[in-house]
Structure formats: C-alpha cells, structure tokens
Amino acid sequence: MAPDSPEAARKAELTKNLARVEERIQSACVAAGRKREDLTLVVVTKTYPASDVRLLAELGVRHVAENRDQDAAPKAAACADLPLEWHFVGQLQTNKARSVAGYADYVHSVDRLRLVTALSAAALRTERELGCLVQVAFDAASGTVGERGGTAPDGVTALAEAVAGAQGLRLDGVMTVAPLTGPYAGRAEEVFEQLREISTGLRAAHPAANMVSAGMSSDLEEAVRAGATHVRVGSAVLGDRPRLG
Ligand SMILES: *Cc1c(COP(=O)(O)O)cnc(C)c1O
C-alpha cells in the first residue's frame, strides 16, 4: 500500500487504537494480579468494512465479533482467507442460525431453548462444531429474556444443560452485557462479579466451559478485575460508530 494512501492512514489509526487498548488490558491485568495470556481480546467489527477486518488481521488480531448476521455473513466470506476466529455476539433469530453456523466459531448470545435447537440442527447440517456461551441478562425478570437478549440468571442451568446435550454444540461458558438501564445501570463491576459466580457454578458440572465474556470499550477494566476471560472491544479500536436510527 502507498505510504500516503487512505488505507495506510487507516492502518496507522488502528495500530494506535489497538496499542492503547492493549495497554489498558495490560494495566488492568497487572492491577488485578492476572496474567495477560489469560485474557483474550475480541475486536467487535460491527458496522465497519471487511477492509478493516483485513487490516486488523495484519496487525495480529485473531478474534473478531459481529452482532448482525446480514452484515457478518458477507464480511466473513470476504475474509475467509484470514486466520481469524469469528464470534457472534448479537441477538439471534432462529431463522438465522443456519447462516451463522456457516462462519461463526462461537455464539455468545445463546439465551433460549429454541435457539439451542436451531443452532444444533444448523451445526449438524454445516458439519461445524459451534462453541456456545449462555448470555445472562441481569436486568431480566425470572424466566424471561432481557431487552438486549440474555436469559434471567435462573435460566442459565437449564440452557447450559441443553447446550451440553445438543449434537454439534460445545458448551464454552457465559457472557453478559452490562445493563444500561434499571437497578444495575452503572454497576458493571457488580454484574461482572455475578457472572463470574455463575461461571464458577457452571464449571463445577462442566469444567471445560471456562469462557467468561464480559466488558466492552467503556468497562473492560471492571471486567478484567471481575475475572473475565474475554473482553469484546469495538469503538475503542475502530472508532465511534454512527448511531443507528
Ligand atoms: C457492540 C458490542 C460490543 C462492543 O461495544 P463497544 O462499546 O463498541 O466496545 C460488545 N459486545 C456486544 C454484545 C456488542 O453488541
């Protein structure tokens, strides 16, 4: 690429942003007495083009995440030659399960039994094993799904058992998004600590389900402190997204 091309400028910007996020993760690990290698950075590339995914791969990123199948499917296809693992982190309709199973290595947003059934059928059909995380919504009432997806905490065990017993699926752990409204708004660290407790309970029965996916651009330090294994960082790496709607 030419040194003064727009692509070179974008690469320089992503390099700088990634370095800053990496510094934040490392400082948080030091402060929490954790090892950097116990944490995985997942870069959330939603709304950004495949060309950015390509630049991120050149810069050493190995995990990327998307939240809408319509955008993710063509992007993953355009980047199929890159050594990347794809994480699906958005609310997922059962009729998109088959498409997602075609490119995703992990689905972080498993939040209802019907989705487990659909993902299992899709994984069998595409002959790809799917790593599944149960998404927990701490603002959801008992027995319901949260506004931004996720099962209420009392639904985790049944979902986890369903995933563990489903062909084509692998139970990998738990995920949450800190609530923006309700009693838990602004209390990300407490939420992440509760997720960690749920994870500890889950691992008693399923020791391999050790992924704890928590923390985004604004609260990754809290997530590291609370024991997350995966942080999902979008805007701090790629820039602020245009607001939808
Ligand atoms: C967009 C998104 C992220 C990343 O959010 P940023 O604030 O841009 O870091 C993480 N997790 C999920 C589920 C998302 O939808």
CATH number at residue 148: 3.20.20.10
pLDDT, tens only, 60-119: 999 999 999 999 999 999 999 999 999 999 999 999 999 999 999 999 999 999 999 999
**Assigned domain for 29 exists:** yes
pLDDT, tens only, 200-245: 999 999 999 999 999 999 999 999 999 999 999 999 999 998 765 4
The parent domain of residue 180 ranges over 6-238
pLDDT, tens only, 153-163: 999 999 999 99
* Residue 4: per-residue pLDDT: 87
Beta strands 63-66 and 130-136, pairing class:
unpaired
pLDDT, tens only, 121-153: 999 999 999 999 999 999 988 888 888 899 999
**Assigned domain for 244 exists:** no
**Assigned domain for 133 exists:** yes
Q: How many CA atoms lie within 13 A of 140 on its CB side?
A: 23
Does ligand 1 lie within 6 Å of residue 235's CB atom?
Answer: yes
**Assigned domain for 245 exists:** no
**Assigned domain for 221 exists:** yes
Distance in angstroms (rounded) separating the CA atoms of residues 189 and 125: 39
Q: How many domains does the chain have?
A: 1
Q: Whose CA is nearest to atom 4 of ligand 1?
A: 234
Q: Whose CA is nearest to atom 11 of ligand 1?
A: 232
Which residues have C-beta within 8 Å of that of residue 35, sequence separation ≥ 6?
29
pLDDT reading at 2 higher than 90 = no
Distance in angstroms (rounded) separating the CA atoms of residues 64 and 223: 18
Does ligand 1 lie within 6 Å of residue 44's CB atom?
Answer: yes
**Assigned domain for 1 exists:** no
Q: What is the mean pLDDT of residues 34-57?
A: 98
**Assigned domain for 122 exists:** yes
Buried b (16+ CB within 10 A) or exposed e, 78-106: ebeebebebbbbbbbeeebbbbbbbbbeb
**Assigned domain for 89 exists:** yes
The least confident of 44-48, 116-120, 176-180, 201-205 is: 176-180
